[in-house]
Amino acid sequence: MRTLLIHSIIVILVSACGTTIRDTSPQSRSEPTSAKSSTTAITSSALLKAPDWFEKGNALSDLGRYQAAIESFDKANALKPKPEAWYNRGIALNNLGRYQAAIDSYDKALAIKPDKPEAWYNRGIALNNLGRYQAAIDSYDKALAIKPDKHEAWYNRGIALDDLGRYQAAIDSYDKALAIKPDKHEAWNNRGFALADLGRYQAAIENYDKALAIKPDLHQAWYNRGIALNNLGSSETAIESYDKALAIKPDDHAVWTNRGVALENLGSYETAIESYDKALALKPDNHYAWYNRGIALENLGSYETAIESYDKALAIKPDNHYAWNNRGLALKNSGRYETAIDSYDKALAIKPDNHYAWNNRGLALADLGRYQTAIENYDKALVIKQDYYGAWYNRGLALNNLGRYQAAINSYDKANALKPDKPEAWYNRGIALNNLGRSQAAIDSYDKANALKPDKHEAWYNRGIALADLGRYQAAIDSYDKALAIKPDDHAVWTNRGVALENLGSYETAIESYDKALAIKPDDHAVWTNRGVALENLGSYETAIESYDKALALKPDNHYAWNNRGIALKNLGRYETAIESYDKALVIKPDNHYAWNNRGIALADLGRYQTAIENYDKALVIKQDYYGAWYNRGIALKDLGRYEAAIENYDKALAIKPDLHQAWYNRGIALKNLGRYEAAIENYDKALAINPDFELARNNREVLQQLNKR
């Protein structure tokens, strides 16, 4: 007997957890500047002329009294419309945030003086503030056609292009501004921003450095530099940049948030939470900080607190599908699978093509044992993203759990084609192959897993099982030893190592392995049973019975232990007690053909041959091709003097197992007892051809030859 093979399955949780969202508030850019005409002191309004109202408007504007300034410009324009008055009126309206009215004023100025570059320029600023980026660019182009060296227009044109997602064109505009004014730190900063949007993070950092060389206290550049460094995986250097930004502006919640992200990328989850808390003290409604704080807590295993953080994020931004997804992960990790599924459903209602959420929903369903529905969810993820390794892998696990091993292998193959350097899919592919009985192919898969991750003890262990299934017990032991070098307290490995040693006939060493297993897990009834078998094979029957009794104290319905206990008792000549043990085994498992056969042997040892035959018949009703029962039935018939019937039974045994030398020998005995000496000698010869060292057959053959000579 051997223990059940334990196949460890590893589940990968593939999610958005750990991949964080940066604060989406725009990275800082310098504000566009507005040109104004010169102003004079405010004079009395009595009998004022158009130029006086114009100057008064300028003075009021300088004092920040924009509405009064507009009224003055209106007075001037009512008396004598001038482009300057319409232009400065537009600036005042722009300062009040009345962008469309400002544009209307600039248009009035330009109707009178179309070649006024400042009006075109500031018109562009107002259009940009309204989100009308293309129209803003057209206005800047008009200004630049008149005044090509106006660096402010090139700069703000770059901002509008960036807002349209036309990053390369934005860079070209910033280059024009910098060719005119190389020390414009805002342009270097924004040029870096556009490069980062193109994924050119190293070039972006070089631009931020240019800005900082000009203005070392530009906290936006330090902040943006940190983001670029983090995107390059240089999280430690990113933190240094964020710290520079915070030294200049300690109340910037966005910097604290992204600093937390960088710390989280380094695995410094506790410190990351401290950063998020700083951000939240400054801006309690920062949903990004709440969300990323939840991720850090989840990575620390603080699932309930993580859920609270996600809930805070969702109270501020209920349509954050990332937060719903990761909330589901925290619930799943808490064992609350149904509630986790509800969270994934929320994520999917917002973003139906969120392949992470479909995958994670599948994992929760698999945890509930609903493998088929889990597969349907993985399929949803794969429709969205065909090259999603995690979904192919997890689909394989679910198929394996359904016993659909070939389909599982097909899924693992898809996963391995995408990421051949991941050991998990190779490992679980080996399990599926072994379950199909394809032991050599399983070993090849485990070898792939071990080449990628040599310290995966489960792969070495299951490799040993596959080798043992091929009868390569020494190689199996070598694999088990590899597993034990990594994890010395794995009682299952010690157990199966003992089984392999027992199969090699190394019973004493097998017992040592079983003892190691029992030192780790003393309540393993299967190990006590196998230990008893090894002791029995050494002829230590009393000690074997003690091992079986240990097994039965732990599991009284262990029919294997009752059966093997009976064998040990029979070997001690305690036949009646042996029969009682077999009876216990048969009460638990009435179709145990081994127990019926062994009970028959004990009865035959007591000379109760007919009852023994009845027991062998019971065994043969259960398993017709059980050669042992046919053989033992033949012996009982021989002992009853029914030699012809005995020969028929030996023939049945030999039809199933032609190399059973004992059957050939006993068939010879029956033939000798019938006086058929020549035929008997032929049977002894058959036995000796199979086992040349079989002395009984040789001796009986010689006796018959002597009789024939007489």
Average pLDDT over residues 135-164: 97
Query: Which pLDDT does position 47 carry in this prediction?
Result: 62
Residues 6+ apart with CB under 8 A from 665: 683, 684, 687, 694, 696, 697, 700
Do residues 144 and 175 lie in contact, with contact meaning Cβ atoms separated by under 8 Å? no
Higher pLDDT, 44 or 328: 328
Do residues 521 and 6 lie in contact, with contact meaning Cβ atoms separated by under 8 Å? no
Residue type, 464: G
Query: Which pLDDT does position 288 carry in this prediction?
Result: 97
Query: Which pLDDT does position 576 carry in this prediction?
Result: 97
On the question of pLDDT at 465 being above 70, the answer is yes
- Transcribe 377-428 into DSSP letters: HHHHHHHH-TT-HHHHHHHHHHHHHTT-HHHHHHHHHHHHHH-TT-HHHHHH
Residues 6+ apart with CB under 8 A from 239: 226, 259, 262, 263
On the question of pLDDT at 349 being above 70, the answer is yes
On the question of pLDDT at 32 being above 80, the answer is no
Query: pTM of the entire structure?
Result: 0.79
Query: Which pLDDT does position 39 carry in this prediction?
Result: 29
**Per mean pLDDT, which range of 41-50, 205-214, 320-329, 544-553 is the poorest?**
41-50
CA angle 419, 423, 425 (to 5 degrees): 70
Would you state the structure tokens that stand for residue 262, as one six-digit string? 């960088």
Average pLDDT over residues 652-656: 98
Question: Residue 710's pLDDT band (boundaries 50, 70, 90)?
Answer: low
On the question of pLDDT at 34 being above 60, the answer is no
Rounded to whole angstroms, the Cα distance separating 212 from 51 reads: 45
Would you state the structure tokens that stand for residue 131, as one six-digit string? 């989100």
Ordered by where they begin, the domains of the chain are 50-351 (1.25.40.10)
In tens, the pLDDT along 386-410 reads 999 999 999 999 999 999 999 999 9
3-state secondary structure of 26: coil
Do residues 568 and 540 lie in contact, with contact meaning Cβ atoms separated by under 8 Å? no
Query: Which pLDDT does position 318 carry in this prediction?
Result: 98
Average pLDDT over residues 282-286: 98
Residue with tokens 């240019």: 210
Rounded to whole angstroms, the Cα distance separating 106 from 98 reads: 12
Across all residues in the chain, what is the average pLDDT? 92
Give the alpha-carbon dihedral of 343, 345, 347, 353, to 10 degrees: 150
Query: Which pLDDT does position 449 carry in this prediction?
Result: 97
3-state secondary structure of 289: helix
Number of neighbours of residue 18 by Cβ within 10 angstroms: 12
Rounded to whole angstroms, the Cα distance separating 311 from 334 reads: 16
Share of the chain above pLDDT 90, in %: 90
Do residues 244 and 216 lie in contact, with contact meaning Cβ atoms separated by under 8 Å? no
Question: Residue 705's pLDDT band (boundaries 50, 70, 90)?
Answer: confident
Number of H helices, E strands in the chain: 39, 0
Do residues 264 and 274 lie in contact, with contact meaning Cβ atoms separated by under 8 Å? no
On the question of pLDDT at 383 being above 80, the answer is yes
Do residues 633 and 613 lie in contact, with contact meaning Cβ atoms separated by under 8 Å? yes
- Residue 645 burial (CB < 10 Å; 0-12/13-18/19+)? middle
Query: Which pLDDT does position 7 carry in this prediction?
Result: 23
Kindly list the distances between the CA atom of residue 246 and the CA atoms of 276, 296, 387, 530, in Å, as whole numbers in the listed order. Answer: 14, 21, 41, 67
Rounded to whole angstroms, the Cα distance separating 661 from 408 reads: 44
Rounded to whole angstroms, the Cα distance separating 169 from 156 reads: 12
Average pLDDT over residues 22-38: 29
